[in-house]
Amino acid sequence: MRLVEVMRRLTDDERREIVTFVDDVAAVIGRRPLSDHLWLDLLAGDTDGLLATRVADTTGTLAYGQISATNESAALEVVLRPGLDDGTRIRDDVVETAVDAFRATGGSTLTWWVDGPDDSAAQLAATVGLEPARTLLEMRRPLPNDDHATVDTRPFRVGADEAAWLDVNNRAFAEHAEQGGWSAETLALRLADPSFDPTGFRLHERDGRLAAFCWTKLHTDVDPVVGEIYIIAVDPDLHGLGLGKQLTLAGLDSIAARGVTVANLYVDAANSVAVGMYEQLGFTVHRTRQAFTGTFDD
């Protein structure tokens, strides 16, 4: 017998069980199957806007779906136990249940992120009122890199750089569903993550102001360790100076300096300028993620 349940708040026991489930799946597939935003919400357990769906039987959790609030919308991701004979049907149950629960709470815009989308995902998305939207590319390259940054950067200073960083980030990503609209609390949550390393958060200043940044992070829970160009942006007032490429190189230098031999990043497939720049820097597509989005008015 299988139980499908929806949870708007996670008890400590529920949170620990699901965290263990996600970690176990990560150990099998070689990467954490939840994006950083949803993962941090899961670790917090009682974050506003979190909506969890779980399918379990006598052997434990079979699938977990999580909706987390983003910038003026919400994101859904699903984690499946590897090797399930009827994994697609279980995934469908989770998505349908999660979307129904989201609509029942009065939620408006929802995006379901799917790794390596196939026809069954597209059919399910259409059934629940979601349409294809963004395509996200995970790109990777080996390290070290032959090219290096030629601009000066320094580490992020916790307690001093937050306001300037939020200003640049929120203007650079004003129209971005996940990265835009960060608050001081959003940033503080990520700076408090045990994996945060200020030496890998590189800032470039011009004329006494923050001009560009590259925030990197190491994924030590996979083998080999992967160093991610996590967030990179240039102040919109300073576009056209080549700072995007220079800060990418600074991030790669930072990752390689910590002994990591693989770098990755995520980029919108529609951003042909950025994709072209990353290809010139030796990145190739490793994985594709598809977003299916819908807006519910009822």
For residue 44, the domain's CATH number is 3.40.630.30
In a domain, 269, yes or no: no
Could you tell me if 9 and 92 lie in one domain?
Answer: yes
Could you tell me if 100 and 152 lie in one domain?
Answer: no
Contact between residue 202 and residue 213 where contact means Cβ atoms under 8 Å apart: yes
Contact between residue 55 and residue 94 where contact means Cβ atoms under 8 Å apart: yes
Q: Tell me whether the omega of the peptide bond preceding residue 132 falls within 30 degrees of 0, making it cis.
A: no
pLDDT at 46: 67
SS3 2: coil
Could you tell me if 151 and 254 lie in one domain?
Answer: yes
Could you tell me if 148 and 235 lie in one domain?
Answer: yes
Could you tell me if 249 and 172 lie in one domain?
Answer: yes
CA distance 266 to 268: 7
pLDDT at 106: 87
Q: What is the number of structural domains in the chain?
A: 2
Q: What residues are paired with 7 via a beta bridge?
A: 52
**Secondary structure of 204-269 in the HEC alphabet?**
EEECCEEEEEEEEEEECCCCCCEEEEEEEEECHHHCCCCHHHHHHHHHHHHHHHCCCCEEEEEEEC
Question: Domain range holding 96?
Answer: 3-107
Tell me the torsion sign for CA atoms 249, 284, 67, 100.
positive
Could you tell me if 101 and 161 lie in one domain?
Answer: no
In a domain, 266, yes or no: no
Q: Tell me whether the omega of the peptide bond preceding residue 82 falls within 30 degrees of 0, making it cis.
A: no
In a domain, 278, yes or no: no
pLDDT at 36: 86
In a domain, 273, yes or no: no
Could you tell me if 97 and 162 lie in one domain?
Answer: no
List, for the chain, all residue ranges whose pLDDT scores fall below the cut of 50: none
CA distance 269 to 208: 34
Could you tell me if 154 and 206 lie in one domain?
Answer: yes
Q: What residues are paired with 54 via a beta bridge?
A: 5, 64
pLDDT at 163: 97
pLDDT at 177: 62
In a domain, 50, yes or no: yes
- Taking alpha carbons only, the member of 268, 264, 290, 274 closest to residue 31 is 264
CA distance 117 to 113: 9
In a domain, 268, yes or no: no
In a domain, 12, yes or no: yes
Q: Which strands sit side by side in the sheet containing 262-268, from one edge to the other? A: 3-7, 51-57, 60-70, 73-80, 109-115, 284-295, 131-142, 262-268, 226-234, 209-219, 201-206, 154-155
Contact between residue 95 and residue 124 where contact means Cβ atoms under 8 Å apart: yes
CA distance 292 to 110: 8
In a domain, 237, yes or no: yes
- Taking alpha carbons only, the member of 248, 187, 261 closest to residue 218 is 261
Could you tell me if 96 and 149 lie in one domain?
Answer: no
Could you tell me if 95 and 152 lie in one domain?
Answer: no
Could you tell me if 171 and 246 lie in one domain?
Answer: yes
pTM (predicted TM-score): 0.86
